[in-house]
Structure 1
Amino acid sequence: MTKTLQDLIDEAIFISTEYQARLAELTGESDWSVDFSAPSFTLKSDPSVSLTPSLLGTESEQRGSWIWSWQELGHFPDEVVAAAVQAREAGENLGVQELTTDELVLSEGLARRLTLAAKAVTGLFAHYPAAAGGGVRAWLLVDGPQLELPEPTVHRMGRVMAQALQTNTAVHHQRAVDSYARLRGAHISWDTEACAVITASDGALRLWFDEHRISGIEPAEPVVDQRDLARAAKQAEENRQSLRADARRALSIAHRESEQQRRAREEAEAQRVAATEAALSDTTEAPTATPIEQTEGVEPARADGVGAPFDQEPREDAEPGIVSTHVVPDEGEESVGQTRRDAVPAADVPSSAPVSDADLAPEQEAVTDQHPIVEEQTVPLADGAPADSEDADATESALDRLRAEQAEAGGRPQRQERPAASAGSSATGQRSDDRDAQRYAEPVSEQEEAAERQAAQAEDGTKKKGFFSRFFGL
């Protein structure tokens, strides 16, 4: 058998109205407090009243949705969410989608309609919408001996039905009247689909229907005796016992599912922590500032910057080494430089042996500070000029004059170490290498932060937003 959400609302609307009137007599204008760990719902009246709460769900204006409390079990005690689980199980058996969908888009009166439907399948007919702040309202079903209703009478039942019809919540009045009479333990008999007689201990009422709506009500003669009334009361009690048995099964289901979900959350958290620690460990063990030696098969950097090592993705088999850079001159500059080197005889190249500090007299050191060291330079040649012996002699003479001037100014000419032309690097190039190595060396702290960001991004893609944040609209 299948039903709709409205069918369940029709079945619960009249008896819900009577229970809400009884709850209003107890609460009045008093404040309230709820403790789900107990669980208890306390009305601070005089005297105070303590009832048992069941949390169905919350509606959030900010989030714009209703969330059932069974959406994630384990956050509340099982007995607090058992009624919501019972409503879900009944929704699966009856095919009511609204009772089995964990989150629903909020609409006008949705929370109240869902609460009324839950009453029909749980047997808990009093509710209290508790404001939780921030536009969030938690809908509770409450129960307790203080809410017990008196013996049914047609006078009381007629007043309740008239009050409930003013809300325009019920659609199928025949279903609503029949359910109300059976739940209250009164006797109902149908002459036709358009006429029914309700009999209670104080008399009877005849109701007329037109297109599933009550069109008239009048006093009537009882159609059954006390034995039939006792039988109707017994059937109502059996129905309540059946719903309580369903509640016990729902409590068992809530306990089993909450344990499963709790273990799943713990395992997911443990895996997340392990993944984060592994990422940090790999980052810490990786070398950070060790220079990398040029690997065979990698093309050297070109003068125009194309193919530079820092413009390429690192290879998977790359190993630490030393970075070396080479300044490759243009073809024109290379030919001129070669001409200049050829123009200077090898015998005239100064010795590269360093001069120790002991060889310098104090006065010589002072002169050195006043007169900076002048590097030995070759005489530039015009492009394409032949390097014949006359040019070589002119160059040698120029060098002799330069040495003589230095000897007259500081006593002893200073010889500066000069690397061979074939070495492929200079002092300027070495300083450039140092700057490049420092520039591209990445501190360990930044790598650790990168690993943490990577782990956090991976976690954000899988981790779900916290249940309390969604449940209370945060």
Structure 2
Amino acid sequence: MTKTLQDLIDESIFISTEYQARLAELSGNSDWSVDFSAPSFTLESDPSVSLSPYLLGTESEQRGSWIWSWQELGHFPDVVVTSAVQAREAGEHLGVQELTTDELVLSEGLARRLTLAAKAVTGVFAHYPAVAGGGVRAWLLVDGPELELPEPTVNRMGRVMAEALQTNTAVHHQRAVDSYARLRGAHISWDTEACAVVTATDGALRLWFDENKISGIEPAEPAVGQRELDRAAQEADQHRQALRDEARRALKIAQRESEQQRQAREEAEAQRVAATEAAVAPGAEQQPAVSLEDTEGVERTHPEGQDLPFDQEPRENAEPGLVSTHVVTEEEAPEPAVSPQVSQDEAVTDTHPIVEKPAESEPSEAQDEQDQPSALERLRAEQAQNEAARVTPNSPHEAEGSEPAETGSTASSELPSAGEERVSARSDVETDESQDQEDQGTKKKGFFSRFFGL
């Protein structure tokens, strides 16, 4: 058998109205407090009244949604979420999607409608919307012996139905009247779909219906005697007992699922910690260390007194430091050595070092006098060497086809200054930090943050 959310609302609307009136008599305008660890819901009246709270869920105006408390178990005591789990189980059996969807888009009156539907399948008919702050309201079902109703009378039932109909919550009035009479232990008999007689200890009422709406009500003669009334009261007790049995079954389900979810969270946390430790462990991505025994007989490539390469493990007493860079400007750059045979104009345009031939062994005086060229020939030879030095690339970048700087000022203008380089580094760091903050903002929030709209 399947039902709709409205069907469950119709079944609970009248008896819910009566229980709410009883709760208002107990609370008045007194303050309240709730302790889920106890659990207890206390009305600070005179005298104070302590009831058992059952958290159904929360509605958040900021988030714009309703979240059932069974959405992630383990954050509240299992007994506190019993009614929510019981409503979910009934929703799966009856095909009511609203009771089985963990988070619903908020709409006008949705939280109250869900609460009324939960009452029909749990047998807990009083509720309290507790304001939690920040536009969040937690909807509780409350129960206790102080909320017990007196025996039903037609006068009391008539007033309750008239009050409930003013809210325009009920749609199918025949369903609502029939459910109310059975839940209260009164007797109801249907002459036709358009006429019913409700009998209680103080008399009877006849109700007329037109298009599923109550169109009239009048006193009537009782349709049954006391024996039938006792039987109706017994059937109402049996129905309440069946719902209590379902509540105990729901508690076991909550305990089992809570333990499963707790273990899953612990395993996920252990995996996260292990992954983090593996990532930050020293030498995690390097080759295994070689023992001293394995290095016996191996020639050392770095004798004492020489600098070790930069890819060594840090010392135990090593501390983090600040690495700074400095670009040598044109004013700070040393002037290149200029051969006395090269003119001053050539020295300005030539930024490459002059390649000099290594010194040869000194020739004999006779040979020197015989082979010594004239001064003009020596000058022409040195100029030819200088021209060859300018054409031949002296760096890898020049060999790959990059053009050398024409002047020292031009080369320095293409490089950032030291201050610009530090500003760029800070900008990169600030960009990374802002990106990290954005990534953290997009992470899914925890259950308490979502549940209470934080």
> TM-score, normalised on structure 1?
0.67
Alignment of 1:31-430 (within 5 A): 31-281=31-281, 290=309, 341=356, 346-347=360-361, 389-390=373-374, 394=378
Q: Does 1:469 align with 2:430?
A: no
Q: Distance in 1 between matches of 2:202 and 2:71?
A: 46
- 2:278–2:284 Cα contact (<8 Å) kept: no
* SS of equivalent to 1:389: coil
Q: For structure 1, list consecutive stretches of 5 or more residues without a partner in the other structure.
A: 293-332, 350-386, 399-423, 426-445
Q: CA deviation at 1:389?
A: 3.3
- 2:86–2:250 Cα contact (<8 Å) kept: yes
Q: Distance in 2 between matches of 1:186 and 1:23?
A: 22
Match of 2:398 in 1: none
Q: CA deviation at 1:460?
A: 6.2
Q: CA deviation at 1:269?
A: 1.1
Q: CA deviation at 1:346?
A: 2.3
Q: CA deviation at 1:276?
A: 1.5
Alignment of 1:12-27 (within 5 A): 12-27=12-27
Q: Distance in 2 between matches of 1:13 and 1:48?
A: 28
Q: Distance in 2 between matches of 1:276 and 1:85?
A: 36
Q: Distance in 2 between matches of 1:269 and 1:391?
A: 86
Q: CA deviation at 1:275?
A: 1.3
Counterpart of 2:108, as a letter, is: E
Q: Distance in 2 between matches of 1:31 and 1:66?
A: 25
* SS of equivalent to 2:130: strand
* SS of equivalent to 2:66: strand
Match of 2:403 in 1: none
Q: CA deviation at 1:24?
A: 0.2
- 2:20–2:126 Cα contact (<8 Å) kept: yes
Q: Distance in 2 between matches of 1:278 and 1:127?
A: 51
Counterpart of 2:241, as a letter, is: Q
> TM-score, normalised on structure 2?
0.70
- 2:187–2:228 Cα contact (<8 Å) kept: yes
Deviations 1:356-385 (A, max 9, x none): xxxxxxxxxxxxxxxxxxxxxxxxxxxxxx
Structure 1 residues 181 and 340, CA, compared in 2 at 3 Å: closer, same or farther?
Answer: closer
Deviations 1:223-276 (A, max 9, x none): 101000000000000000000000000000000000000111111111111112
Q: CA deviation at 1:277?
A: 1.7
Q: CA RMSD for the aligned pairs?
A: 4.1
Structure 1 residues 348 and 86, CA, compared in 2 at 3 Å: closer, same or farther?
Answer: farther
Q: CA deviation at 1:125?
A: 0.1
* SS of equivalent to 1:52: strand
- 2:19–2:126 Cα contact (<8 Å) kept: yes
Deviations 1:40-87 (A, max 9, x none): 000000000000000000000111100000000000000000100000
* SS of equivalent to 2:171: coil
Counterpart of 1:178, as a letter, is: D
Q: Distance in 2 between matches of 1:86 and 1:463?
A: 31
Q: Distance in 1 between matches of 2:373 and 2:354?
A: 13
Structure 1 residues 100 and 341, CA, compared in 2 at 3 Å: closer, same or farther?
Answer: same
Q: CA deviation at 1:119?
A: 0.1
Q: CA deviation at 1:283?
A: 7.0
Task: Tell me which structure has the larger Cα radius of gyration.
Answer: 1
Q: Distance in 1 between matches of 2:120 and 2:144?
A: 17
Q: CA deviation at 1:186?
A: 0.2
Q: CA deviation at 1:160?
A: 0.1
- 2:130–2:137 Cα contact (<8 Å) kept: yes
Structure 1 residues 18 and 121, CA, compared in 2 at 3 Å: closer, same or farther?
Answer: same
Structure 1 residues 72 and 341, CA, compared in 2 at 3 Å: closer, same or farther?
Answer: same
Q: CA deviation at 1:393?
A: 7.8
Q: CA deviation at 1:341?
A: 4.0
Q: Distance in 2 between matches of 1:181 and 1:272?
A: 57
Q: Distance in 2 between matches of 1:337 and 1:188?
A: 111
Counterpart of 1:129, as a letter, is: P
Deviations 1:371-429 (A, max 9, x none): xxxxxxxxxxxxxxxx993359857xx9xxxxxxxxxxxxxxxxxxxxxxxxx89xxxx
Q: Distance in 2 between matches of 1:66 and 1:290?
A: 62
- 1:345–1:392 Cα contact (<8 Å) kept: no
Counterpart of 1:49, as a letter, is: V
* SS of equivalent to 2:45: coil
Structure 1 residues 340 and 154, CA, compared in 2 at 3 Å: closer, same or farther?
Answer: closer
Q: CA deviation at 1:338?
A: 12
Q: Distance in 1 between matches of 2:277 and 2:359?
A: 65
Q: For structure 2, list consecutive stretches of 5 or more residues without a partner in the other structure.
A: 288-307, 312-346, 364-370, 383-393, 396-425
